[in-house]
Amino acid sequence: MELEKEISQSKFKNGYHKAAVNIIFTYNWLIGLNNKIFDKEDITISQYNILRILRGQNGKPASVILLKSRMLDKMCDASRIVERLVIKELVERKMCVKDRRSVDILITEKGLNLLERIDRKDNTKSLLSKNLTIEEVTELNRLLDKMRD
């Protein structure tokens, strides 16, 4: 549906303003879709993001600094999120062998199983592929990357 109809606004300052509002609106739309899955699994999008990063480490530990640098939301308190994931037994902390001042964070089997369940429920690809071709998705990604340059 057109943005104008979605938010009941017929005029924008210019095309750039409309694009910015459209990106924010679409971001919130995607978050809403994902939150339906995350709520059922009792995790937040930031917790999910950290679990994804740790899964991508392929068994190698990560520090809080590494997690913070790779998180999508740079404003999140990675230490606090890790603590919540430890309580849920989705990640574990271990003293770093190379640097006793640092802590290694690893995803647990329970955390990997949770991500697998979420992956099975995630319908983002099917939702997007209904309206966008792979060529359009490639162009969208290129334009979003270009916008941030």
- Cα distances from 146 to residues 46, 140, 142, 143, 149, in angstroms, run 25, 10, 6, 5, 5
Residue 90 in contact with residue 111, Cβ under 8 Å?
yes
pLDDT confidence of residue 95 = 85
Tell me what pLDDT residue 114 has. Answer: 96
pLDDT at 141 over 80: yes
- Give rounded-to-5 percent helix, strand, coil for the chain: 65, 5, 30
* Residues 24-78: tens digit of each pLDDT: 999 999 999 889 899 999 999 999 999 999 999 998 999 999 999 999 888 889 9
**Which domains, ranges and CATH numbers included, belong to the chain?**
1-41 (no CATH), 43-121 (1.10.10.10)
pLDDT at residue 20, rounded to an integer: 94
Residue 86, pLDDT score: 97
Closest CA to 85 of 36, 115, 120, 50: 50
Please tell me the predicted confidence (pLDDT) of residue 131. 87
pLDDT in tens, 78-125: 999 999 999 999 999 988 777 777 889 999 999 999 999 999 887 777
Q: Is the pLDDT of residue 127 over 90?
A: no
Distance CA 45, CA 52 (A): 10
Burial classification of residue 32, based on how many CB atoms lie within 10 Å of its CB (0-12 exposed, 13-18 middle, 19 or more buried): exposed
